[in-house]
Amino acid sequence: MSIIDENRRLEDIDRKFIWHPFTQMKDWLEEKPIIISEGRDCFIKDIYGKWYLDGVSSLWVNIFGHRKKEIDDAIKEQLDKISHSTLLGLSNVPAIKLAEKIIQVVNSPITHHPSSLTKVFYSDNGSTSVEVALKMAFQYWKHKGINEKNVFVSLKNAYHGDTIGAVSVGGVDIFHEAFGPLLFKTFKAPSPYCYRCDLGKEHPDCKTACLDKLEELFREHSEEIAGFIIEPLIQAAGGMITSPPGYLAGAKELCSKYGILMIADEVATGFGRTGKMFACEHENVIPDIMCLSKGITGGYMPLALTLATEDIYNAFLGEFRDLKTFFHGHSYTGNPLACAAALACLEIFEKEKVLEGLKNKIEILEEWLNENLNLRNVGDVRNAGLMAGVELVRDKNTKEPYDWKEKMGWRVAYHARDNGVFIRPLGNVIVIMPPLNISEQNLRRLLTVIKDSIIEITGRL
């Protein structure tokens, strides 16, 4: 069979058997699928040999691009030992080493704080790390003898994953509304979305009034609130919505004041994305629970961690018959190959001084974002480190958005794709999330293609 025939066969089989996530399959069936066969550095190659710059790190996970030698080697080495054994009733070497390392890394900005995160609970994707966090927080209060704390507070525009618990604390209507009847009750606080403020105010004159709203909720309902979940610094899947400075620290203060556990969902922001190892560090916040996944294995293996404080962990200690056990655990929990990959990633951060190396690239990105604010149909630009969004609008003066059915973000993304750059938008927001180790030259190339695509597509209307 010729290569062309084999490629066509793959396309047909894909259409026949695969149901793609977050994808209208009717559209997919009408398009020619891009099928990736190889990756190298920050590029991915399709079966026809065309290379694309991976502008979103393969859905925000491949922080060191593809085929990073140290991670390849770590997995190969672990393969020669064991690929999987369970953490239910057993332990394994890479899971132990990773737990020690991550606790060291997470606490390195502020060591020996009385409320440091000290315990690691493993699972295997961002959504499950959130499920774990919610169940942990809920049960913590039960073990403390406080039975009324049964409700969570989350933010509008929040995204914490696709399992039912994670969707319950989500706030992106287009993804979450359909499941309304299945979801548990939550309180929703306004999104700290300055460009489209729910309260109709302007930052900084508003003095971060969204925090006052959060406090109102806490004040009225603290007796029933178990926890507050937040994506620190930037609501990612909700549209790369950056919160105003001080919001995160202010929210943490309110949690402490009203006796509410803070769950920081660092699934998207963790591992250097925002310019620091974890987004919470920007505002010196130590949450009670922290969720980690995505970049943790450099995009090699599914792995997630839910970190908790000593106080939370201790609440679960008791006699066997007390039934204080945390009844939760997945088949792939603490998978040794994934933990070996994660350990290799943490070593790369140290050896290659990754965080220091981000500064110039963040500057390049910020300069580009500011320039793009001048474009006719760019309403807002925002970023936290190397995590950025460009919000396209039909009318800049009125902030009138493009109708989502027009698929403006997608049209820009398709244009970029034709020009060798892979990006995936969020509605009208163009997302830029390249691997952290992208070269400055490739970053500039990525940004040039995106800018040209925005100009070309919005200019046609």
Binding residues for ligand PMP restricted to 280-309, rule: CB under 6 A:
293
Q: Rank residues 329 and 420 by Cβ distance to ligand PMP and give the closer one.
A: 329
Q: Rank residues 58 and 309 by Cβ distance to ligand PMP and give the closer one.
A: 58
CA distance 295 to 59: 10
Residue span binding ligand PMP (CB under 6 A) among the ranges 124-132, 136-144, 364-372, 428-436? 124-132
Among 130, 229, 285, 358, the residue binding ligand PMP under the rule CB under 6 A is 130
Q: Is 160 in the site for ligand PMP (CB under 6 A)?
A: yes
Residue span binding ligand PMP (CB under 6 A) among the ranges 36-44, 92-100, 125-133, 445-453? 125-133
Q: Which residues, 6 or more positions from 90, have their beta carbon under 8 angstroms from its beta carbon?
A: none
Q: Is 268 in the site for ligand PMP (CB under 6 A)?
A: yes
In this structure, are residues 309 and 118 in contact, taking their beta carbons and an 8 Å threshold? yes
263 pairs with which residues across the strands? 229, 289
Give the shortest CB-166-to-ligand PMP separation in angstroms: 6
Give the shortest CB-330-to-ligand PMP separation in angstroms: 12
Residue with the CB atom nearest ligand PMP in the bound state = 126
Host H or E run for residue 295: none
Give the shortest CB-16-to-ligand PMP separation in angstroms: 25
Q: Is 267 in the site for ligand PMP (CB under 6 A)?
A: yes
Task: Please say whether the dihedral angle defined by the alpha carbons of residues 351, 356, 360 and 365, taken in this order, is positive or negative.
Answer: positive
Task: Please say whether the dihedral angle defined by the alpha carbons of residues 192, 193, 199 and 200, taken in this order, is positive or negative.
Answer: positive
Among 57, 78, 123, 125, the residue binding ligand PMP under the rule CB under 6 A is 125
DSSP 172: -
- Please give the torsion angle defined by the CA atoms of residues 269, 273, 274 and 279, in that order, rounded to the nearest 10 degrees: 40
Closest alpha carbon to 128 in 324, 335, 346: 335
Q: Rank residues 345 and 449 by Cβ distance to ligand PMP and give the closer one.
A: 345
In this structure, are residues 53 and 449 in contact, taking their beta carbons and an 8 Å threshold? yes
Q: Is 237 in the site for ligand PMP (CB under 6 A)?
A: yes
Among 43, 55, 168, 231, the residue binding ligand PMP under the rule CB under 6 A is 231
Q: Is 131 in the site for ligand PMP (CB under 6 A)?
A: no
Among 131, 265, 281, 288, the residue binding ligand PMP under the rule CB under 6 A is 265
For 39, other C-beta atoms within 10 Å of its C-beta total: 19
Half-sphere exposure of 228 (CA within 13 A, CB side): 28
Largest distance between two CA atoms of the chain: 69
**CA end-to-end distance (rounded Å), the chain:** 44
In this structure, are residues 336 and 85 in contact, taking their beta carbons and an 8 Å threshold? yes
Q: Which residues, 6 or more positions from 275, have their beta carbon under 8 angstroms from its beta carbon?
A: 282, 355, 358, 359, 362, 384, 385, 386
Residue span binding ligand PMP (CB under 6 A) among the ranges 119-127, 244-252, 346-354, 365-373? 119-127
Q: Rank residues 260 and 267 by Cβ distance to ligand PMP and give the closer one.
A: 267
Give the shortest CB-60-to-ligand PMP separation in angstroms: 6
Give the shortest CB-429-to-ligand PMP separation in angstroms: 14
Give the shortest CB-243-to-ligand PMP separation in angstroms: 13
Q: Is 330 in the site for ligand PMP (CB under 6 A)?
A: no
Among 236, 292, 346, 369, the residue binding ligand PMP under the rule CB under 6 A is 236
SS3 assignment, position 341: helix
Q: Is 239 in the site for ligand PMP (CB under 6 A)?
A: no
CA distance 194 to 208: 9
Q: Is 155 in the site for ligand PMP (CB under 6 A)?
A: no
Q: Rank residues 59 and 105 by Cβ distance to ligand PMP and give the closer one.
A: 59
Among 126, 239, 409, 434, the residue binding ligand PMP under the rule CB under 6 A is 126
Q: Is 127 in the site for ligand PMP (CB under 6 A)?
A: yes
In this structure, are residues 199 and 209 in contact, taking their beta carbons and an 8 Å threshold? yes
Give the shortest CB-124-to-ligand PMP separation in angstroms: 8
Host H or E run for residue 96: helix 93-107
For 18, other C-beta atoms within 10 Å of its C-beta total: 12
CA distance 273 to 218: 30
Q: Is 413 in the site for ligand PMP (CB under 6 A)?
A: no
Q: Rank residues 265 and 288 by Cβ distance to ligand PMP and give the closer one.
A: 265
Q: Is 159 in the site for ligand PMP (CB under 6 A)?
A: yes
CA distance 116 to 430: 36
CA distance 152 to 111: 29
Give the shortest CB-21-to-ligand PMP separation in angstroms: 9
Q: Is 192 in the site for ligand PMP (CB under 6 A)?
A: no
Q: Is 169 in the site for ligand PMP (CB under 6 A)?
A: no
Binding site for ligand PMP (CB under 6 A): 125-127, 130, 159-161, 231, 236-237, 265, 267-268, 293
